[in-house]
Amino acid sequence: MPVTTRTGFPVPDNRMGQSPCSPVGAVVDALLDLGRLALVLGGVERTACYHPDQAARETVTDHTVMLGWTAPALAARCYPHLDTGLVAQYALIHDAVEVYAGDTQTLLISPEERQAKADREARATARIHTEFRDRLPWFPEMISRYERQTDPEARFVRVLDKVLPKITHLLDELYGLLEFGISRTEFADSMVAQARQLQEQVGEEFALLLEVHANLVARVLRHPAWGFFPAPGTAEPTTRDGGRSGDR
């Protein structure tokens, strides 16, 4: 019977002297290819999100590190029954498909755009499986396990993934939202729809996360930048609903 790890991955049988890392050259080639993808991911910029300096855009790598730190930390404090190691693994790979699919803004997304996003990500997943399933199988397998959302750890990470952009919005003083042209009303409507969807998906399982989501959304909506932050590229202040003062 094959031996498996705690998370279900098979361990190669070494009784005949075969090393799981043989030949080494092939392993190194696989590591180079995966490392190359990691560097590409660091160049994928997220929509409507900046660093606090309002100069550098948040990248998918920035977001992944933020989720990789906050998810196990929050799980350990508030949901100790979850496997924090598994939480960290899901956080690490949750947006890996964007290396090929790119980032898609979802604040003002149409049903057609959402379907196109799903199609791009499905193609990206298939490509990653083709490239790594026989060389570094943990990587594509964890992506698939995350997408199946069978484990509570995967569902926890998916909900927190929806929460984190509000942290970035607050840290960049809403600069990304205003640059993208999102009004306060549009943001509020989008968050109502998102909260409703999360409630339907995991409302009872992760009620505290929904409270965190609501608290952060309320802070974003109360932020004074909606009324006094100059619209990017102009000297005009925005109005309370996100439009320029000259629009009225």
Q: For residue 157, is pLDDT > 80?
A: yes
Residue 11: phi, psi to the nearest 5? -100, 125
Q: Is 73 left (phi over 0), alpha (psi -120 to 50) or beta?
A: alpha
The Cα 137–Cα 128 span in angstroms is 10
Centre a 10 Å sphere on the Cβ of residue 233 and count the other Cβ atoms it contains: 7
Rounded CA-CA distance 102/40 in Å is 10
At 76, is the pLDDT very low, low, confident or very high (cuts 50, 70, 90)?
very high
pLDDT at 20 (0 to 100):
77
Cα 242 to Cα 142: distance, rounded to the nearest angstrom: 40
Euclidean distance between the first and final Cα of the chain, in Å? 73
Mean pLDDT of 123-141: 97
Q: Which residues contact 212 (CB under 8 A, 6 or more apart)?
A: 163
> Tell me, what amino acid is at 54?
Q
- Digit-coded pLDDT (tens) for 161-206: 999 999 999 999 999 999 999 999 999 999 999 999 999 988 789 9
> What pTM does this model have?
0.84
Task: Return the ∠ at Cα 207 (arms to 183 and 162), rounded to 5°.
Answer: 40
State residue 8's pLDDT score: 64
Question: Which tens digit of pLDDT belongs to each residue from 213-248?
Answer: 999 999 999 999 998 555 444 444 444 343 433 222
What pLDDT, in 10s, does the model give residues 77-123? Answer: 999 999 999 999 999 999 999 999 998 888 888 889 989 999 999 99
Strands (E), 78-162: none
What does the pLDDT read at residue 4?
57
Task: Return the pLDDT at 19.
Answer: 73
Contacts of 151 (CB under 8 A, 6+ apart): 86, 90, 145
Measuring CA to CA, how many Å separate 162 from each of 22, 39, 77, 157, 198?
41, 24, 19, 9, 9
Residue 17 pLDDT class (50, 70, 90 cuts): low
Residues 6 or more apart in contact with residue 172 via CB below 8 angstroms:
49, 50, 51, 52, 54, 58
pLDDT digits (tens, 9 = 90+) for 37-59: 999 999 999 999 999 999 999 99
Q: What's the pLDDT score for residue 11?
A: 55
